[in-house]
Amino acid sequence: MKNVLYVGNALSKSGKNITSIETLSQHLSEAYNVKTASSRSNIILRLLDMIGLVLRNESKTDIVLIDTYSTLNFYYTLIISQICRLFTLEYIPILHGGDLESRLKNSPKISKLIFNNAEFLVSPSNFLKSKFEAYGYKNVVFIPNSIEIDNYEFMARDIDSIKLLWVRSISELYNPKLAILVLEALIAKGYKAELTMVGPDNNDYLKEVKQFTLNKNLNVNFTGKLTKLEWILLSKTHNMFLNTTNFDNAPVSIIEAMALGLPIVSTNVGGLPFLIEDYSEGILVEPEDEEAMVQAIITLRNDKVLKDRLVINGRKKAETFNWLHIKPSWISLLQ
């Protein structure tokens, strides 16, 4: 059985959302010996934990997986990848985040150090795969994010009063204020509308979003971080899924919303048009276009035939992301 090290941010116990290192590592452990790092909340200790994992296991490791983001964590990937090179360990960066292209553009030398020397690059979206290939990286393999479809009960929903569900970290990157503006506009147009925002605070941005909501005299349900089971249960009392992000790749929350039967209105950014077929599996609008998002919501409320078609097609799409469908791609890659 092969030995796999997986390096990334496993921070759900520190109040953050679950990331792929916490889900994919469990799935891969069905076929491989998998060791992971790190769950430490302090960024320096987390980096040291990642380095220690590689140094302690370098002589008995077959492959190293590295979750790779465009933010500060990009430098984790740089350091770990170069340690792997020092010990001639094969490594595979797993590409996350719709803004990772900015690193290819603004940090070309570092990007080449990381990506040119990797065994493969794994992209969970064809969007990001195409971006990397445009910069000359030819070793990119598309393996989508996965869910366990049996955990998501499909439920048909009628839309009388509009009950919006938003699920992401409360971060400026994901533009939660747009959801607030959409709620305000719907109420101003005379619609009965509610908004629930699920997700942990990121860099104290929640305080600013709550003040923004208060200034508009709106009532929004901020739940904070919920477990997967908790927000799936909460989804049963909602009838539309809102995604307002300005940058994105292939968010699992969208796949989960499809699986649950929630009609989706999303910004048309990054990998989302690769994930959602417009007016077939959801409705896409341009970023920061509050009025277009409002009109899309009203359209879904008033057109039951359209809404039903979108959710049925969305469920079919979600089923293609079931782990049992994705597993062979990982097994083939790691062989």
Q: When comparing pLDDT for 329 and 202, which is higher?
A: 329
Is the confidence at residue 16, as pLDDT, over 80? no
Tell me how far CA of residue 49 lies from CA of 4, 22, 42, 43, 277, in angstroms. 16, 16, 10, 10, 41
Per-residue pLDDT tens over the stretch 80-114: 999 999 999 999 999 997 778 899 999 999 999 99
Domains of the chain with bracketed CATH: 3-143 (3.40.50.2000), 149-319 (3.40.50.2000)
Grouping H, G, I as helix, E, B as strand and the rest as coil, residue 150 is helix
Tell me how far CA of residue 326 lies from CA of 124, 142, 147, 321, in angstroms. 11, 10, 9, 7
Cβ count near 134 (within 10 Å): 10
Strand partners, 7: 37, 66
Q: What is the mean pLDDT of residues 184-206?
A: 95
Q: What is the pLDDT confidence band of residue 15, given thresholds at 50, 70 and 90?
A: confident
Average pLDDT of every residue of the chain: 95
Strand pairing class (63-68; 193-198): unpaired
Per-residue pLDDT tens over the stretch 35-60: 999 999 999 999 999 999 999 999 99
